[in-house]
Amino acid sequence: MTDRKSILVVEDDAIIARDIQQTLERLGYAAPRTARTGDEACLAVEASAPDLVLMDIKLRGGSDGVEAAGRIRERWDVPVVYLTSHSDEATLQRAKATGPLGYLLKPFHERDLRTAVEVALHTHELETRLARSERLASIGTLAAGMAHEINNPLAVVMGVAYSLRRAMHGADEVLAGVPGAEGARAELREAAEGLQALDEAAERIRRVVQDMRRFVRPDRAERQVLDLPAVLDAAARMAEPRLRQSARLQRCYGATPSVEANEGQLVQVFTNLLVNAAQAIGEGDASAQRVELTTFTDERGRAVVEVRDTGPGISKQDLPRVFDPFFTTKPVGAGMGLGLAVCHGIVTSLGGEITVESEAGRGAMFRVALPPAPRVKTMTSSSAT
């Protein structure tokens, strides 16, 4: 996996395109391919999902750079910086309508390219964060209302089911001593099985509502100073029934400061991440797959936990949305898409950060970084499998 930002160069002059490509590589960016036409650019964006497109306004072929940039922004939301040597006013107005994040006038110097790329990437990141915050605020308002509206009738359903179960149990005991009552008792047992199914369904709904509430407002339960190895071992025990169907768990605990958090919440975060890793891998030959649980202290003094898996990975298009509530790539019925959103809410409420790195076909790595407790106590290194 790589942290280098990927940039697509769209330029119909092969010599200029190669020069820009080499300059970008020298600046530390990945520029693995170029495109010469608008149609080629769209195909390349769909195939590789770059972080930025450098688009020449004047292109040969069926569509010019402005038309291609409009399609790219609308369909894939990839930012565009235009390259141009001269254009008429009408073309520039069309270009402005596509929402570019910058213009570079050819010929340009390396420092101009570096500045334009850095500004465009930073601006797009800020825009993405703002859009996500607004989306989460809207979803949070909706989720809070849904949780309230669902919880009230659900409490009635669960209460009535409990009363009916007790009544059926009493009736069965009475009928036990009545000759010829076997048919009635059989019907009671059948009804009781139906109530059991109702109870289980109501419990699933209750858990979904609970997750919705945790997403909307992470519970500020009592916090205490915790040692991460103990928290992670508890999470591993919770996730073990699901993990053993998919992979071997490997643990390597490096030195970390203690953290201040609610133990139940923190155990939930890492249980969710471990179960998520197992689900990504799927059931099969567990000896051939692995989930790695690693801890260390970063350069900022934070306690860091990484959960890696050898599953299929996450596509670049899905990566920005993995922490969004109700977003899931799992089959219908396999989850509501709230687990990672809840993890995100809990970690950020603790002043921490949760991120993900992945490439399709190469597994995924979730990293949780938490600030040290006010009184830092460093755990000694240990490792286990």
- Identify whether the C-beta of residue 219 lies closer than 8 Å to the C-beta of residue 268: no
Residue 362 lies in a domain: yes
Q: Which among 333, 336, 350, 206 is positioned nearest to 269, based on CA atoms?
A: 350
* DSSP labels, 33-47: -EESSHHHHHHHHHH
Confidence class for position 364, pLDDT limits 50, 70, 90: very high
In a domain, 2, yes or no: no
Strands in the chain per DSSP E:
7-10, 34-35, 52-56, 80-84, 103-105, 224-226, 248-253, 259-261, 290-297, 303-309, 353-358, 364-370, 382-384
Asked if residue 201 belongs to a domain, the reply is yes
Phi, psi of 315 (to 5 degrees): -65, 155
Which pLDDT tens digit goes with each residue over 285-336?
888 899 999 999 999 999 999 999 999 998 888 888 888 877 776 554 445 5
195 and 270 belong to one structural domain: no
- Asked whether residue 1 is domain-assigned, the answer is no
In a domain, 278, yes or no: yes
Least confident of 163-167, 270-274, 381-385: 381-385
Instruction: Say yes or no: 201 and 242 in one domain.
Output: no
Residue 379 DSSP class = P
Same domain, yes or no: 242 and 348: yes
The CATH number of residue 25's host domain is 3.40.50.2300
Residue 376 lies in a domain: yes
Q: Are 362 and 1 in contact (CB under 8 A)?
A: yes
Same domain, 241 and 359: yes
Domain boundary, last residue among 158, 184, 216: 216
Say which CATH number the domain at 239 has.
3.30.565.10
Angle at 239 between CA 234 and CA 242, to 5 degrees: 160
Confidence label for 232 from pLDDT (cuts 50, 70 and 90)? very high
Domain end marker among 216, 246, 268: 216
- What integer best gives the mean pLDDT of the chain? 85
Q: Locate all alpha helices (DSSP H) within 77-109, ordered by sequence.
A: 89-97
What are the Cα distances from residue 41, in Å, to 59, 70, 84, 256, 348?
11, 12, 16, 46, 38
Residue 117 lies in a domain: no
- Domain check: are 211 and 240 in the same one? no
20: helix, strand or coil: helix
Looking at the fold, whether 286 and 363 belong to one and the same domain comes out as yes
Q: Is residue 116 part of a domain?
A: no
* Residue 86 and residue 145 in one domain: no
Q: Is 220's pLDDT higher than 80?
A: no
Cβ 72 vs Cβ 98: under 8 Å: no
Residues 212 and 235 in one domain: no
Same domain, 182 and 137: yes
pLDDT of residue 212 exceeding 80, the answer is: no
The pLDDT of residue 337 is 62
Q: Within this chain, do residues 13 and 151 fall inside the same structural domain, yes or no?
A: no
Give me the phi and psi of 277, to 5 degrees please: -65, -45
Using CA atoms, how far apart are residues 51 and 137, in angstroms rounded to an integer? 26
Q: How far apart are CA 133 and CA 111, in angstroms?
A: 33
- Residue 58 is part of which domain span? 7-108
CA distances from 385 to 184, 187, 242, 287, 292 (A): 55, 52, 17, 13, 9
Do both 246 and 375 map to the same domain? yes
Number of domains in the chain: 3
Whole-model pTM above 0.85?
no
Both 232 and 366 in one domain: the answer is: yes
Choose the final residue of a domain: 186, 216, 246: 216
DSSP one-letter string for 189-234: HHHHHHHHHHHHHHHHHHHHHHHHHHHHS------EEE-HHHHHHH
Interval 42-74: pLDDT, tens: 999 998 889 999 999 988 776 789 999 999 988
Q: Counting Cβ atoms within 10 Å, is residue 285 exposed (0-12), middle (13-18) or buried (19+)?
A: exposed
